[in-house]
Amino acid sequence: MRALLLVAAAALGLTPGTARTLPQPPHLLTQTGLYSAPGVVDARHLAYAPQYPLWTDGAAKSRWLHLPAGKDIDGGDEDGWVFPVGTRVWKEFRFQGRKVETRMIWKAGPRTWVFASYAWNEAQTEATLVPADGLPDAAEVAPGVWHRIPSRADCRNCHGQESVDMLGFNALQLSPDRDPDAIHGEPLQPGMVTLDDLVARRLLRGARPDLLSRPPRIQADQAATRSVLGYLQANCASCHRGDRPLPGLDLDFRHTSHLIRGADEPGLRTTLGRPSVYQAPGAAGDPRLSPGVPDQSTLIHRMASRRPAAQMPPLGSALVDQEAVARLRRWVADLPLAASH
């Protein structure tokens, strides 16, 4: 048992004997440093909007990142930015115009990350820390359908364990080459940061010299393909990615910097005409994506399902993203029957 504790402490960047002193998130959202005054977000935080947002039951979202004074982001690895200790990120979720939850990720040590979710009160004046196992029935998003605030384990499953990704704050998501056809794309508001701003304010170091002249972009010949791959990158690549392969699957939706040099997007290579381990009830032999035949595409079937054994993504939503399913169906229907990668 002691050996296991030492291994766990080492994985979190702790010295032996400190496993019980992991930092705990504050009990109230107002204690996390998000606000400078009641209801006023601190102007020092960086507001941003990823070009390919994550679907969360139609929630409206606001996002902010805090960098400690005098610190910057190491952008040497375009696919894995390294954030300084003390970095905090918040994401606020609103349904029907009301704040329901705010999530926080805090880099408390070189390899120590703290995840927390806060549930807003009825008066909309404060949000309180949610238990580690999450909170069911946080908001009714459709008749009889409820949004669930995820557990901290769920957050780690998407963002990573020891190596944590800020999924919406990276080179592709902040690229000035913004996709005008992005599914659920959010317009940039005044004051929101992009790659240009990070470079101009010297908050990003070590990035390639041509980062702004050749910014990250989903590689695709058609606008519809670009937007579909961007959606799959945002909603699926936290699990389905080349550097964190799930056992037995060759499925990769992650855009990486080497694609700037013109290689095919793995999202096409690993789906078009490729065999699917999962098969819909009553189907046999349907591929992940069947060019020209959306009804025989298991990826679309799983996106359109909220049956626990079939749903994809398996976490984070109770409602089917009908717009995304429709866009994917049109895109697959328009693909040449012989398309393959």
* pLDDT tens for the 341 residues of the chain, in order: 333 333 334 434 444 444 446 789 999 999 999 999 999 999 999 999 999 999 999 999 999 999 999 999 999 999 899 999 999 999 999 999 999 999 999 999 998 999 999 999 999 999 999 998 989 999 999 999 999 998 877 777 677 666 777 889 999 999 999 999 999 999 999 999 999 999 999 999 999 999 999 999 998 889 999 999 999 999 998 888 887 777 778 899 888 887 766 667 899 999 999 999 888 887 788 999 999 999 999 999 999 999 888 889 888 889 999 999 999 999 999 998 756 54
163 and 45 share one domain: yes
In whole angstroms, what is the distance from residue 131 CA to residue 135 CA?
7
Contacts of 284 (CB under 8 A, 6+ apart): none
158 and 187 share one domain: yes
Domain span at 284: 223-334
In whole angstroms, what is the distance from residue 61 CA to residue 320 CA?
18
CA nearest 268: which of 331, 178, 194, 193? 331
170 and 44 share one domain: yes
Q: Which of 205, 234, 259 is the last residue of a domain?
A: 205
Average pLDDT over the chain, rounded to an integer: 88
In whole angstroms, what is the distance from residue 335 CA to residue 304 CA?
20
Exposure string over 83-118, b if 16+ CB within 10 A, otherwise e: beeebbbbbbbbbeeebbbbbbbbbbeebbbbbbbb
236 and 326 share one domain: yes
29 and 80 share one domain: yes
31 and 161 share one domain: yes
250 and 167 share one domain: no
122 and 84 share one domain: yes
3-state secondary structure of 273: coil
Token pair 């139609």 in the structure block, residue: 58
Reported residue count of the chain is 341
16 within a domain of the structure (yes/no): no
Q: Can you give the pTM of this predicted structure?
A: 0.89
216 within a domain of the structure (yes/no): no
CA nearest 169: which of 195, 142, 145? 195
218 within a domain of the structure (yes/no): no
13 within a domain of the structure (yes/no): no
CA nearest 147: which of 93, 91, 90? 93
Residue 340: its pLDDT value, please?
54
Residue 261: its pLDDT value, please?
64
Angle, helices 322-334/223-236, rounded to nearest 10 degrees = 130
CB distance 30 to 156 below 8 Å: no
145 and 177 share one domain: yes
3-state secondary structure of 264: coil
258 and 161 share one domain: no
259 within a domain of the structure (yes/no): yes
90 within a domain of the structure (yes/no): yes
In whole angstroms, what is the distance from residue 218 CA to residue 198 CA?
21
Q: Which of 150, 176, 205 is the last residue of a domain?
A: 205
44 and 154 share one domain: yes
Residue 263: its pLDDT value, please?
65
Q: How many domains does the chain have?
A: 2
5 within a domain of the structure (yes/no): no
7 within a domain of the structure (yes/no): no
Lookup: tokens for 157? 């499953």
251 and 180 share one domain: no
Q: Which of 153, 174, 205 is the last residue of a domain?
A: 205
